[in-house]
Amino acid sequence: MGRWTQKHRALLGPESMPRFIALNNTPEKLNDNLLLRQALLDFIADFANWDNCTVREYLETSRALTQAAHEALGGAPGTRPLVVDPFAGGGSIPLEALRVGADAFASDLNPVPVLLNKVVLEYIPKYGQQLADEVRKWGEWIKREAEKELGEFYPKDPDGATPIAYLWARTIQCEGPGCGAEVPLVRSLWLAKKPNRSATLQLVPNPKAKRVDFQINIKQRDGWVNQANPRTRVENAKFDGTVKRGSATCPCCGYTTPVVRVREQLKARRGGANDARLMCVVTTRPGEQGRFYRLPIGADLTAVRAAAAELERRTAAVQGALSLVPNEIISLNEIRRISLPIYGMTTWGDLLSRRNSLTLATLARLVNEVGRKVRAETDGDLADAVQTCLAFAVSRLADRASSICTWRPQADQEKVEHVFTRQAIQMTWDFAEGTFLSQRTAGWNDAYEPPAALIDELSPLKLASGTAVQSSAAKHTLPNDSCNAFITDPPYYDAIPYAHLSDFFYVWLRRSLCGVHIDCLKNSHVPKDEEIVVDRPHELSTSTHDIAFYERELTNAFGEGRRLLRPDGIGTIVFASKTTASWEAILKAVVDAGWTITGSWPIDTEMENRISAQGQARLASSVHLVCRPRENPDGSLRTDEIGDWRDVLQELPSRIHAWMPRLAEEGVVGADAIFACLGPALEIFSRYSRVEKASGEAVALKEYLEQVWAAVAKEALTMVFHGADTTGFEPDARLTAMWLWTLTAGTNGASNDENDEDEESDDDESDGGGKKVTQGGFVLEYDAARKIAQGLGAHLEELASMVEVKGDKARLLPVAERTKALFGRDESGPATKRAKKKAKQQMAFGFEAELEAAEEEQGWGVIGAPQAGQTVLDRIHQSMILFAAGRGEALKRFLVEEGAGRDERFWRLAQALSALYPSSTDEKRWVDGVLARKKGLGL
């Protein structure tokens, strides 16, 4: 809740209600529209606090307000307004609609969120607490039954300890000349990272036996020792495993088998989960705290073999249409984010060890059994509800029961990590296999309890029932003019491959819901053809979901939204992406679909894990575009309002000028503010059916948006320099200032949106990129940087000594990296390629060496001063470098004798930069250091 929590938690809570009630009790004040508005806004702000959203007084008030507004807008008394969200996903919007007393209609193309919404919007309002009780009762029953069937495959230790996780490594055979040892693929050897209880695995090469053995080391006060023999100290404890960037180094011979060969070997064994090497077993002991680590014993492997035999027996006996273990193919169309097929995991079942498969298949069967039992006893719909909740529990467990799950050694809690730590499924070399019986990690209890807890939380709200259906937003099932509000959070370009990721859960939902939700679950996979998304291209992909497809279908969807919304209805489109291209695409779709944008607000909607929507994104800080259908009262599209391009252009700057300070006041700055300005700017343009130039030529939205960017950049710059005349600054200074400002995170959280992050993968296969090397500097999306630059009359290409463009990213170089360019012989021109490369190789204080070299070359060391750079910014950067290198005397001569500090613009810009450089950076310290010299030098 960011802002609201900090600002309001202390202040508000139920005590703040009186402010609103007091107003309510003094009806004469209600006649004062301004007071009333203020009070309503206060109410909304207070209600937005999570702590208040379940408080009875707030709920009742919000519902009374919804009703009053509905009737004031012509709604028949006794009816409720209908809110439609055709991209409902995890369902936060429809749920909030129900909370404030509206009716809600939630649809999505993807069956996983549709079923989730069925639970939240239909079953919970209908059955309330009874549903939670049933889920817990039958969850327990399933556990008991499954334990009877599967207990023998998860044996206790002879000493009474209970295994809670088995740590495995996939293996390859070393391809080093004459070696052939089995190499366990391990990324990290850490088992536990507790300050007083750290443990690691150690690889013990055994070349004779052509394999690697293991030893467990624990940390004692004076260093690492072998757990099996605590008197043996371990010198040079190692923590890195055998795999780096997909290649595997053999502990026996040191040969590194390259990534292509590692892939080939795993491919031949469907990923190698089922002939992996057991390295270690994690246990708990009765009456003792913490986790214990031991090496495998014979009984561990016997149990695994027995589970495999049992699975084989049951697989052969399967008669239904569905295989016991999911044999559904993993699509290659999102291989950049679901890279498993490259390693031979071509079906969803290949992600599982055989024991995982046996367990999940057993639980799915028992969930079906529960459905039959409840159905025999009571109403069929309740049975569907219970079965659906438990089916979600099975799919939740799958998230912690696959060979993609790693062991998490972190101090907060050592546990089995789940698959969906990010919006991608990437290869893991070593993996942790939990046991469903565990109460500590990756257990069945943990799978069904959260759905039950959600019911506990929601049922006291006494929500009215909503509706959840499967439907494409671009071909909606609702009739014309049937809803009052169209509120939605559409997919953003290629941000999240929802349908591809959801297959992971879907295959288990289908197996747990045989004969239930037949329509929704009829396909073998989550439908993808109609999904509005951009698939990331790859040579193995046959996807046709490119940008053009996305833009066309999104326009269709917004057109559908306008069709089903009443002409006097209101639309709100939520958008949280921070790439310029996807913003422009969505704005174009809104305008082309016949909407007028009438308002826009950035709102913090951080939802934590409120409704744990499986495979669905959380909303973060996002812009809400408020819009109205550009329609006549009879619902037909208005086409006759022609706007004059000159008028539009004239109005634009004043609009932005009015908005920016308002946003800043609310803590919305930087990139967030830029995006938040697009809405108000669009209000001007989208008021018209068409905007024309004097020639009669229609203005494309793209052309208008270029103007908007320029206006925003100019306005922001004035704010950055506090209204000072910025024309005196050269383009490089203006660009630097704007660049840094864009990166500023306000209280609204302008940090990188999680959706925009490129997936970094451990195995760095398909992207061909690998781990990002952390570089210094200040990175912006290239397109945004280009637009900002253009708006300021600068060109990135001409500023090569300060900006580096690479792919779709542009990096404002850290000042230290400019040393050579600023002080070297070629100081006036752009840095040469070699110079740049060299500069980058210099770590931390490398610039000092460069400075020395330049000093020697030019001989200004003892008495002179370096030659002043061309622009004010260059001279500031030179001063910063001299300061950083501890060249106080040279700095003085540079500022005084060379005259750099005699230019008033120098100090003005330095002052602005001091405010803009992030506080933890070298740049901030250095520029402050230079500023501190000013007085002493009499400047």
d(CA 109, CA 106): 10
Please list the alpha-helical segments (H only) found in 721-754: 731-743
Which partner in Zn ion, ligand SAM, none is near 179 (CB below 5 to 8 A by kind)? Zn ion
For the CB of residue 435, give the shortest distance to Zn ion in the complex, in Å. Answer: 34
For the CB of residue 482, give the shortest distance to ligand SAM in the complex, in Å. Answer: 17
Does 250 help bind ligand SAM (rule: CB under 6 A)? no
Residues in binding contact with ligand SAM, number by CB under 6 A: 24
Which partner in Zn ion, ligand SAM, none is near 332 (CB below 5 to 8 A by kind)? none
For the CB of residue 467, give the shortest distance to ligand SAM in the complex, in Å. Answer: 15
Q: Which are the contacts of 134, defined by CB distance < 8 A and separation ≥ 6?
A: 127, 374, 382, 385, 386
d(CA 49, CA 56): 14
Kind and range of the H or E run holding 849: helix 846-858
**Shortest CA distance to 924 belongs to which of 795, 744, 747?**
744
Quick one: tokens of 937? Answer: 């030098």
Which partner in ligand SAM, Zn ion, none is near 250 (CB below 5 to 8 A by kind)? Zn ion
For the CB of residue 624, give the shortest distance to Zn ion in the complex, in Å. Answer: 59
For the CB of residue 258, give the shortest distance to Zn ion in the complex, in Å. Answer: 13
Using the rule CB under 6 A, give the single segment among 73-81, 408-416, 444-452, 610-618 that binds ligand SAM: 610-618
Quick one: tokens of 137? Answer: 């009762």
In terms of CB distance, is 595 or 823 closer to ligand SAM?
A: 595
Using the rule CB under 6 A, give the single segment among 133-141, 293-301, 613-621, 859-867 that binds ligand SAM: 613-621
Give CA separation, 199 vs 146, 163, 168, 278, in Å.
Answer: 33, 17, 16, 17
Kind and range of the H or E run holding 257: strand 256-257
Using the rule CB under 6 A, give the single segment among 70-78, 527-535, 537-545, 718-726 that binds ligand SAM: 527-535
Which partner in ligand SAM, Zn ion, none is near 176 (CB below 5 to 8 A by kind)? Zn ion
Which partner in ligand SAM, Zn ion, none is near 406 (CB below 5 to 8 A by kind)? none
Site string for ligand SAM, 360-399 (x = CB under 6 A): ----------------------------------------
For the CB of residue 771, give the shortest distance to ligand SAM in the complex, in Å. Answer: 28
**Shortest CA distance to 86 belongs to which of 65, 110, 69, 63?**
110
Give CA separation, 783 vs 432, 464, 706, 718, 805, in Å.
Answer: 42, 46, 11, 22, 10
Does 98 help bind ligand SAM (rule: CB under 6 A)? no
In terms of CB distance, is 250 or 900 closer to Zn ion?
A: 250
Buried b (16+ CB within 10 A) or exposed e, 618-656: bbbbbbbbbbbbbbeeeeeeeeeeebebeebeebbbebb
Kind and range of the H or E run holding 707: helix 701-720
For the CB of residue 670, give the shortest distance to ligand SAM in the complex, in Å. Answer: 23
Quick one: tokens of 354? Answer: 């055989």
Does 89 help bind ligand SAM (rule: CB under 6 A)? yes
Which partner in ligand SAM, Zn ion, none is near 82 (CB below 5 to 8 A by kind)? none
Query: Which residue among 12, 23, 84, 93 contacts ligand SAM (CB under 6 A)?
Result: 93
Using the rule CB under 6 A, give the single segment among 106-114, 229-237, 722-730, 917-925 that binds ligand SAM: 106-114
Query: Which residue among 243, 454, 487, 532 contacts ligand SAM (CB under 6 A)?
Result: 532
Asked if 674 and 712 count as a contact pair (C-beta separation under 8 A), the reply is yes
Q: Which are the contacts of 800, defined by CB distance < 8 A and separation ≥ 6?
A: 830, 831
Which partner in ligand SAM, Zn ion, none is near 616 (CB below 5 to 8 A by kind)? ligand SAM
Q: SS3 for 269?
A: coil
Query: Which residue among 49, 110, 227, 347 contacts ligand SAM (CB under 6 A)?
Result: 110
d(CA 80, CA 690): 35
Query: Which residue among 103, 108, 430, 781 contacts ligand SAM (CB under 6 A)?
Result: 108
Catalogue the E-assigned strands of 605-748: 621-629, 642-644, 690-692
In terms of CB distance, is 624 or 820 closer to ligand SAM?
A: 624
In terms of CB distance, is 486 or 883 closer to ligand SAM?
A: 486
In terms of CB distance, is 431 or 550 closer to ligand SAM?
A: 550
Query: Which residue among 340, 425, 454, 613 contacts ligand SAM (CB under 6 A)?
Result: 613
Q: SS3 sequence, 192-209?
A: EEECCEEEEEEEEEEHHH
Burial-class residue 44 by CB neighbours within 10 Å (0-12, 13-18, 19+): exposed
Please list the alpha-helical segments (H only) found in 474-579: 498-512, 547-564
Q: SS3 for 150?
A: helix
For the CB of residue 470, give the shortest distance to ligand SAM in the complex, in Å. Answer: 8
In terms of CB distance, is 61 or 755 closer to ligand SAM?
A: 755
For the CB of residue 545, give the shortest distance to ligand SAM in the complex, in Å. Answer: 10
For the CB of residue 92, give the shortest distance to ligand SAM in the complex, in Å. Answer: 4
List of residues contacting Zn ion (CB under 5 A): 174, 176, 179, 181, 250, 252-253, 255
Does 109 help bind ligand SAM (rule: CB under 6 A)? yes
Closest residue by beta carbon to ligand SAM: 89
In terms of CB distance, is 185 or 930 closer to Zn ion?
A: 185
For the CB of residue 828, give the shortest distance to Zn ion in the complex, in Å. Answer: 55
Which partner in ligand SAM, Zn ion, none is near 602 (CB below 5 to 8 A by kind)? none
Query: Which residue among 39, 80, 84, 90 contacts ligand SAM (CB under 6 A)?
Result: 90
For the CB of residue 269, give the shortest distance to Zn ion in the complex, in Å. Answer: 19
Catalogue the E-assigned strands of 378-459: 407-408, 415-416, 430-434
DSSP β-bridge partners for residue 690: 642
Cα torsion angle, 859, 861, 867, 869, sign: positive
d(CA 341, CA 352): 14
**Shortest CA distance to 847 belongs to which of 859, 857, 858, 835?**
835
CA angle 615, 621, 625 (to 5 degrees): 100
In terms of CB distance, is 93 or 625 closer to ligand SAM?
A: 93
Give CA separation, 456 vs 67, 95, 134, 607, 764, in Å.
Answer: 27, 15, 12, 18, 42
Does 84 help bind ligand SAM (rule: CB under 6 A)? no
Site string for ligand SAM, 462-501 (x = CB under 6 A): ----------xxx--------------xxx------x---
d(CA 255, CA 779): 38
Quick one: tokens of 338? Answer: 């679901």
Query: Which residue among 81, 101, 111, 113 contacts ligand SAM (CB under 6 A)?
Result: 113
d(CA 510, CA 322): 9
Query: Which residue among 58, 87, 293, 823 contacts ligand SAM (CB under 6 A)?
Result: 87
Give CA separation, 662 vs 655, 714, 764, 778, 915, in Å.
Answer: 11, 16, 44, 26, 20
For the CB of residue 264, give the shortest distance to Zn ion in the complex, in Å. Answer: 17
Which partner in Zn ion, ligand SAM, none is near 83 (CB below 5 to 8 A by kind)? none
In terms of CB distance, is 89 or 680 closer to ligand SAM?
A: 89
For the CB of residue 41, give the shortest distance to ligand SAM in the complex, in Å. Answer: 24
Does 134 help bind ligand SAM (rule: CB under 6 A)? no
d(CA 879, CA 876): 5
Which partner in Zn ion, ligand SAM, none is near 582 (CB below 5 to 8 A by kind)? none
Quick one: tokens of 268? Answer: 């031949």
Query: Which residue among 52, 92, 726, 766 contacts ligand SAM (CB under 6 A)?
Result: 92
Residues that bind ligand SAM (CB under 6 A): 86-87, 89-90, 92-93, 108-110, 113, 472-474, 489-491, 498, 530-532, 613, 616-617, 619
